[in-house]
Amino acid sequence: MSRSASPVAVGLFTVVALALAALLVLLFSGSNWWSPRDRYMLIYDTSIRGLNIGAPVTLKGVKIGQVTDIRSSLHGKSIDVLNLVTIEIDATSMEAGGKPVSVEELVKRGLRAQLRQQSLLTGLLYVDVDFDPSKPALYKKVKTEYPQLPTTPTNLQQLTRDLESVDVNKLVNDLQETFSGINKLLNDPAMQELAGNMGSAIHSLEIAANDLSKMGIRLGNDYAQVAQSANTLLTDINRDMPQRLATLDEALAKLNQSAATLEEFSANAAFLVSDDSPTLFRLNSASKSINEAAEQLRNLSDLLERQPEVLIFGKPD
């Protein structure tokens, strides 16, 4: 006779099997359930519509945590509503040199959190943390359960804030004053007269431009003629240049020959007037003889003047 299975045993076996299955799923699913996690608080004073619990927290596209809680809170006695977002970050997901780096150290290096869209169709948001040292680390003066992580507004939020800071009434008044000034300026008789004068000036400029154009054409024609004449002259010079160069070479040769002859004559003349020249010696001797003859003639003249009878009787002893 067969024994029926005990319901308690079946139930206990089922529970154990489910527990083992869950444990195997946790062990082999690659999840980091057992890794240490740090929680931080993000505070936004703008709408965070589209951000849900469980939304991923990424760093350069790598998931390092998720959103665990979202709450809204009034800031003190004012009516400012702050959205408090709690995120959970895997402490071992960020390393430097093989060693984990604390989020506080990364904040000092410029780590900031920003909301971004997961998809344009769904409008869901996620938290993206990235390094932006150019933006200061701003903290809200609110007591929080976990340390604050600095946040930066999205481009759309920054644009919205800039638009909200614009004084629309002042801008409209400035535009009205500007249009009023333009209208008054256009209706001013002096401006209308100026417009007429501008028309006359433009007409005069057109006439002057036409005259300059005609003058330019004439100058172009004259320049063409001058260029043609210069081209002809250069052609003639180029054609006659060899003959003229030959004549010039011949004249230079004759000039060199004349220079040589003159140099030789100068050398001979220098020799003639030198102390060793025979001609100069002879000239000096002849000069001395002439001087002696002149001296004798002078003595004879003196003698004849004193004793003219010498011509008849002769010179006495």
In a domain? residue 83: yes
Residue 207 pLDDT > 70: yes
The predicted-structure confidence for 99-151, as pLDDT tens digits, reads as follows: 767 777 777 888 888 888 888 788 889 988 888 887 777 777 788 888 888 88
In a domain? residue 193: no
In a domain? residue 139: yes
Looking at 109, 137, 154, the residue that finishes a domain is 154
Distance CA 266, CA 258 (A): 12
In a domain? residue 267: no
The predicted-structure confidence for 69-83, as pLDDT tens digits, reads as follows: 998 887 766 667 888
Distance CA 132, CA 139 (A): 15
- Kindly list the strands in the beta sheet with 62-74, ordered across the sheet, starting from the edge strand earlier in the chain: 37-44, 81-90, 62-74, 56-59, 125-131, 111-117
In a domain? residue 231: no
Q: Which of 6-15, 153-162, 196-205 has the lowest mean pLDDT?
A: 153-162
pLDDT the model gives residue 1: 46
Q: Provide DSSP, the chain.
A: -PPPPPHHHHHHHHHHHHHHHHHHHHHHS---TTS-EEEEEEEESS--TT--TT-EEEETTEEEEEEEEEEEEE-TTS--EEEEEEEEEETTS-EETTEE--HHHHHHTTEEEEEEES-TTT--EEEEEEE-TTS-----S---SS-B--B---HHHHHHHHHHTS-HHHHHHHHHHHHHHHHHHHH-HHHHHHHHHHHHHHHHHHHHHHHHHHHHHHHHHHHHHHHHHHHHHHHHHHHHHHHHHHHHHHHHHHHHHHHHHHHHHHHHHHHHTSTT-HHHHHHHHHHHHHHHHHHHHHHHHHHHHH-TTHHHH----
- pLDDT (average), residues 219-233: 79
Share of the chain above pLDDT 90, in %: 2
Residue 154 pLDDT > 70: no
pLDDT the model gives residue 56: 92
Averaged pLDDT score across all residues of the chain: 75
Confidence band of 33 (pLDDT split at 50, 70, 90): very low
Structural domain for 295, as ranges: 278-309
- pLDDT (average), residues 197-215: 81
Looking at 116, 139, 154, the residue that finishes a domain is 154
pLDDT the model gives residue 9: 67
The predicted-structure confidence for 6-32, as pLDDT tens digits, reads as follows: 666 667 777 777 777 766 655 554 445
Confidence band of 222 (pLDDT split at 50, 70, 90): confident
In a domain? residue 237: no
Confidence band of 4 (pLDDT split at 50, 70, 90): low
pLDDT the model gives residue 302: 76
pLDDT the model gives residue 254: 82
pLDDT the model gives residue 229: 80
Angle (CA) 114 118 120, round 5°: 115
pLDDT the model gives residue 160: 56
CA dihedral 115, 120, 121, 127 (to 10 degrees): -20
pLDDT the model gives residue 67: 92
Q: Which of 40-49, 192-201, 252-261 has the lowest mean pLDDT?
A: 192-201
In a domain? residue 284: yes
In a domain? residue 302: yes
Confidence band of 169 (pLDDT split at 50, 70, 90): confident
Domains in the chain, number: 2
Looking at 121, 154, 187, the residue that finishes a domain is 154
